[in-house]
Amino acid sequence: MSIDGASMGVDAETSCKAVLGGEQPKESEMRSPEKMWEYIMSAPESYEEGQKGYGEAAQWLARQYLILLDSGYTGDLWEGVKKKFPQDLDFTGFMVGWAENAARYCLNLPEKKNPAIMEI
């Protein structure tokens, strides 16, 4: 069980579709923490290099979060990214939550609540 799919190694686009009632991720779409690390770190270094879609943008954000967490950063991750990249970054709440949980998964840290998912 996972809040947003990140702690199962599932990419953001597939996870978001599943959360919204679409097809659930297949086992073949799940990655180990090590494979998830490789996937996240394959994102471009800078946002200007151009993310082509929802999944790629979330992957880029997860890369920034993973770098911060791996360096021992303990502050608010979103604020840390905004300091490094002061331009307007346009992410959904789901992307922000998924990115943090994906980075935490790579480092074997517990997942956090995704701000875009409401429990009723």
DSSP element (H, E) containing 5: none
Residue 116 · residue 94 · CB < 8 Å: yes
Name the residue with tokens 């779409």.
29
Q: What is the pLDDT of residue 48?
A: 63
**Tens digits of residue pLDDT in 59-117:** 999 999 999 999 999 999 999 999 988 777 788 899 999 999 999 999 999 999 888 88
**What pTM was estimated for this model as a whole?**
0.90
**Tens digits of residue pLDDT in 5-49:** 899 999 999 998 888 889 999 999 999 999 999 999 999 887 765
User: For residue 59, what are the domain limits?
Assistant: 6-20+28-106
Q: Is residue 78 part of a domain?
A: yes
Q: Is residue 70 part of a domain?
A: yes
The domain tally of the chain equals 1
Q: What is the pLDDT of residue 83?
A: 92
Q: What is the pLDDT of residue 119?
A: 73
Residue 63 · residue 47 · CB < 8 Å: no
Nearest in space to 102 (alpha carbons), one of 10, 30, 1, 29: 10
Q: Is residue 77 part of a domain?
A: yes
